[in-house]
Amino acid sequence: MAAIPNEDIVKAIGDKFADAVTVIGEPYGLLTVESGREQIIDLLTFLKTDPSFKFTFLTDITGIHYPEQEKQIGVIYHLHSLTTNTRIRIKVFLADGDVHIPTATVLWEGANWMERETYDFFGVIFDGHPDLRRILNVDDMTAFPMRKEFPLEDPNRVDKKDFYFGR
C-alpha cells in the first residue's frame, strides 16, 4: 500500500479529537502533532487500531527538555505503519513538577524500557508503568541527567581551564 498522505491523517485526527490534538508541522515529510496528556492513550489507540492507518509499530519513545518553556519536559513518540510505510511523531509537553503521563505499555510491550529510559534521563513519571525504575544510570542517582541544567562536567574543576582562550 502506498503511504497515507499527511492531510488524511490530520483530517481523521481533527474529526476525532477536534482541538485537543494540534499539528505542529511536517519537517522532512514526517507529520508531527502535539497532544495533551489526557488524550495521549486515546490518540495512540486510535492510530494503532484504525483500519486505514494501522500505526501498529512503536519505533521509539524519548524525551526532550526546553528549560525556557512553560511546559518544560516533552515526551516524543515515533509510530510507524508497516503496512503503509507511513510515520508519525507525537509530542506531549508536561510542566516541571507535574511530569505525569499515562503509560503506553498497555498498547505495546516494547514501551516498557523506552519509558524507563525516558524516566531515567528526564524524570517523566509514566503512571501505570509496571516497573518504573532507572535503567542505565545507577539506582541511587538523584538527578535526571539529560535535563539541560545538569552539567556535562563538574563546573568546578580547574585542571582543564584555559586561561587564554576560555573553555
**Chain residues that interact with other proteins, rule: CB under 8 A:** 27-28, 30, 32, 56-60, 62, 64-65, 76, 78, 82, 85, 87, 89, 108-110, 112-114, 117, 121, 131-139, 145-146, 150, 152
**∠91-128-86 over CA atoms, to 5°?**
35
Of the pair 22, 56, the CB lying nearest other proteins is at 56
Shortest reach from residue 57's CB to other proteins, in Å: 6
Shortest reach from residue 106's CB to other proteins, in Å: 11
Shortest reach from residue 152's CB to other proteins, in Å: 5
Of the pair 15, 51, the CB lying nearest other proteins is at 51
Contact 33, 47 (CB under 8 A): no
Shortest reach from residue 134's CB to other proteins, in Å: 8
Of the pair 46, 57, the CB lying nearest other proteins is at 57
Contact 39, 95 (CB under 8 A): no
Of the pair 16, 110, the CB lying nearest other proteins is at 110
What burial class does residue 138 get, using C-beta atoms within 10 Å of its C-beta: 0-12 exposed, 13-18 middle, 19+ buried? exposed
Of the pair 38, 49, the CB lying nearest other proteins is at 49
Bridge partners, residue 95, by sequence: none
User: How many residues does the structure list for the chain?
Assistant: 167
Grid cell for residue 4: 497515507
Rounded CA-CA distance 115/82 in Å is: 22
Cα–Cα nearest to 86, from 116, 43, 56: 56
Grid cell 528526564 is found at 122
Shortest reach from residue 85's CB to other proteins, in Å: 5
